[in-house]
Amino acid sequence: MIIILKPKANEEKVRDLIKRLERMELSINYSEGATTTVIGLIGDTSAIDMEILRAHEIVADVKRITEPYKAANRKFHPDDTIIEVAGHKIGQGYFNVFAGPCSVESEEQIIAVAEAVKKSGAGFLRGGAFKPRTSPYSFQGLKEDGLKLLLKAKKATGMPIITEIMSELHLALFEDVDLIQVGARNMQNFTLLKELGRTRKPIFLKRGLSSTMEEFFMSAEYIMAEGNRNVILCERGIRTFEPSIRNNLDISAIPIVKRFSHLPIVIDPSHAAGTAWMVEPLSKAAIAAGADGLMIEVHNNPKEALSDGAQSLDFDEFSHVMEIIKERIAFEGKVMG
């Protein structure tokens, strides 16, 4: 981190600031140039509050030259991490498809979808039981009953399940859930992230609607700093000025994750697009850019779905997209994990 001082900064105040920084066990590199004076900080600067430093009367600006995340950072873990969940591998050439309805609606529905997505080659069954909805008047999910139905579908098909947690108070209910999803709206629910960090459950962390990549990595860091290293990242579209699509799929998130982190990155084209017809081209783009998996919403009868019907594929559409996915991942030298 470097601190750029204001021209003609009071020398006594500069000495005070340096003393304060040295007390934080940082090595100081003071460099006085013809026009600019900078203080270089060497050591662990992750706990430094940049805004407080910036507000100091002798400071012109503060810049980080290393990323504030450590556990999620590729610099400290050069090899890709492979996350293992219920016998499946994700990352470093192992690709996975997480498919199922937006919401669990009934036993018949979730079992029919589980059988169909399994037949087409998906590795995981997804389905929301606790649903974060924009309107409090929309269907909120079957909650605990929804979890029970997912577990029935798991038993009937042998598929591992992934479902969203909305509160740390529900953690005990998720014991038999294979992969716990943190939804976009909870990406910065730090209490929830810390609690999940204290478990050893694999976590599927979705990027917030308006989060920067650094904020995304910092949320992964919250989980990992508590000791849980089993984190899968998921880009699901971000808010932009374009009104014709639900969100904008940020394909550049994939190379950014690959460069700065060692964690696997999954793409959710369904929530990005908001329409079923766009799932296929976005899936192809995600695979070409290096994604480690896809999360795709599939429904037995999308027109009647209780949530996200417009973006859900029916069984035939999903089977077609899966054929393309299998072809494309083979082309990239990857295998289903």
Binding stretches for Mn ion (CB under 5 A): 102, 308
Q: Token digits for 31?
A: 């460099």
Give the number of residues in contact with ligand PEP, rule: CB under 6 A: 10
CB 6 within 8 A of CB 42: no
Residues 14-73 that bind ligand PEP (CB under 6 A): none
Listed in sequence order, the DSSP H helices in the chain are 11-22, 50-55, 107-120, 143-157, 190-198, 213-225, 253-260, 269-273, 279-289, 315-331
Q: Whole-number minimum distance, CB 44 to ligand PEP, in Å? A: 33
Smaller CB distance to Mn ion: residue 218 or 234? 234
Smaller CB distance to Mn ion: residue 40 or 309? 309
Smaller CB distance to ligand PEP: residue 77 or 185? 185
Contact track, ligand PEP, 223-242, x by CB under 6 A: -------------x------
Q: Whole-number minimum distance, CB 182 to ligand PEP, in Å? A: 8
Residue from 181, 191, 183 nearest 231 by CA: 181
Smaller CB distance to ligand PEP: residue 128 or 337? 128
Q: Whole-number minimum distance, CB 280 to Mn ion, in Å? A: 18
Closest chain position to Mn ion (CB): 102
179 binds ligand PEP (CB under 6 A): no
282 binds ligand PEP (CB under 6 A): no
Please select the residue that binds ligand PEP; options are 1, 184, 254, 321, rule is CB under 6 A.
Answer: 184
206 binds ligand PEP (CB under 6 A): yes
271 binds ligand PEP (CB under 6 A): yes
Q: Whole-number minimum distance, CB 1 to Mn ion, in Å? A: 40
What phi and psi values does residue 122 have, to the nearest 5 degrees?
-70, 145
Please select the residue that binds ligand PEP; options are 102, 253, 276, 279, rule is CB under 6 A.
Answer: 102
Please select the residue that binds ligand PEP; options are 36, 76, 119, 132, rule is CB under 6 A.
Answer: 132
Smaller CB distance to ligand PEP: residue 3 or 129? 129
Say how far residue 264 (Cα) sits from the centre of its chain.
9
Q: Whole-number minimum distance, CB 157 to ligand PEP, in Å? A: 20
CB 286 within 8 A of CB 252: no
Q: Whole-number minimum distance, CB 271 to ligand PEP, in Å? A: 4
236 binds, among ligand PEP, Mn ion, none (CB under 5 to 8 A by kind): ligand PEP
Residues 6 or more apart whose CB falls under 8 angstroms from that of 125 comprise 98, 99, 100, 110, 113, 114, 117, 118, 150, 153, 154, 157, 159, 160, 161, 162
CA distance 271 to 179: 19
CB 231 within 8 A of CB 83: yes
Q: What secondary structure does DSSP assign to 31-82, as a single string?
A: EE-SS-EEEEEES--TT--HHHHHHSTTEEEEE-SS-S-STTBGGG--SPPP
127 binds ligand PEP (CB under 6 A): no
Q: Whole-number minimum distance, CB 279 to Mn ion, in Å? A: 12
Residues 127, 326, 324, 209, Cα dihedral to 10°: 40
Give the binding range for ligand PEP (CB under 6 A) out of 20-28, 32-40, 182-190, 249-257. Answer: 182-190
Residue from 119, 186, 209 nearest 159 by CA: 119
246 binds ligand PEP (CB under 6 A): no
CB 185 within 8 A of CB 165: no
Q: Token digits for 190?
A: 């730090």
Q: Token digits for 40?
A: 């270089």
CB 4 within 8 A of CB 62: yes
Contacting positions for ligand PEP (CB under 6 A): 102, 128, 132, 183-185, 206, 236, 268, 271
